[in-house]
Amino acid sequence: MIGILERRERDLEQIKDWQIIQTNSKLRKELGRILDTEDDWSQLETLFFIAHILKARQVLELGTGWGDSGIAILYGMNKHGNLYSLDIQNYSQLRERINLLGLGDNFHFYQVSSLSPPEELLKMKYDFIYIDSNHEYEHVVKELELYCDLTKYIVMHDVIHEAETTQPAKAAFHFLTLHPEWNLIRLNTRHGLWLLYRL
């Protein structure tokens, strides 16, 4: 019991760091420069630090898109780490973009639905899993169930829209009701970034 409480304290310490880090606009600007955007992509900065603080070596991303979040994670994680990223679309020039940044060896892309991943990906463990694919409630519920045993940290994007919780957020609440060992922390970024974790 004491062990669990101590671990919880340690987790809270880490989370305090994350909140301080969110105010670090220098890094946000630097990521903006790398990603060629001046927009407020504060979730990228936070993803960078989650990868960094966890010293992540193995991360799974559902919803690669054009690679912004993947690049932020790759920059934050261990330089020998691997990011496995799934998307039903293969954006043209995604690979070229990642290679130009020197991250090609660390990035493993699969053009598949997040609900039909290759078997090999379901046999691995991940330092965290980032969910940002199809945002429909049923889809996210299935993703959470499919992957939750492979990690202790799940980060979810687009949980807030115009101050309202979205379908991914409702899926997270459903998941938390069924899995009391999982907890929720709301990270304060653009469109909301939620961290689900279990000790």
Ligand X SMILES: C[S@@+](CC[C@H](N)C(=O)[O-])C[C@H]1O[C@@H](n2cnc3c(N)ncnc32)[C@H](O)[C@@H]1O
Residue 161 phi/psi, 5-degree rounding, is -140, 120
Build a one-symbol-per-residue string for 155-174: x at contacts with ligand X by CB under 6 A, - elsewhere: --------------------
Of 11 and 81, the one with the shorter C-beta distance to ligand X is 81
- Asked whether position 65 contacts ligand X by CB under 6 A, the answer is yes
* Least distance to ligand X, CB of residue 3, Å: 35
Task: Mark 70-99 with x for binding to ligand X (rule: CB under 6 A) and - for no binding.
Answer: ----------------xxxx----------
Shortest Å distance, C-beta 97 to ligand X: 11
Largest CA-CA distance found in the chain, in angstroms, rounded: 52
Site string for ligand X, 105-144 (x = CB under 6 A): --------xxx----------------xxx----------
Place of tokens 């829209």: 161
Q: How far apart are the first and last CA of the chain?
A: 12
Two structure tokens written together for 52: 């960094």
One character per residue 1-40, x = contact with ligand X (rule: CB under 6 A): ----------------------------------------
Q: How far is the CB of 62 from ligand X (least distance, A)?
A: 6
Given the complex with ligand X, which of 10 and 37 has the nearer CB atom?
Answer: 37
C-beta separation of 86 from 107 below 8 A? no
Whole-number minimum distance, CB 177 to ligand X, in Å?
A: 24
Inter-CA distances, 89 with 4, 86, 92, 96, Å: 42, 9, 9, 15
**Shortest spacing between CB 78 and ligand X, in angstroms:** 20
Element (H, E) at 182: strand 182-187
Q: CA distances (Å), 10 to each of 3, 5, 15, 16, 196, in order?
A: 11, 9, 9, 10, 16
Please give the distance of CA 117 from its chain centroid, rounded to a whole number. 17
For residue 104, give the DSSP letter: G
User: Total binding residues for ligand X by CB under 6 A?
Assistant: 16
Residues near ligand X (CB under 6 A) are: 62-63, 65-66, 68-69, 86-89, 113-115, 132-134
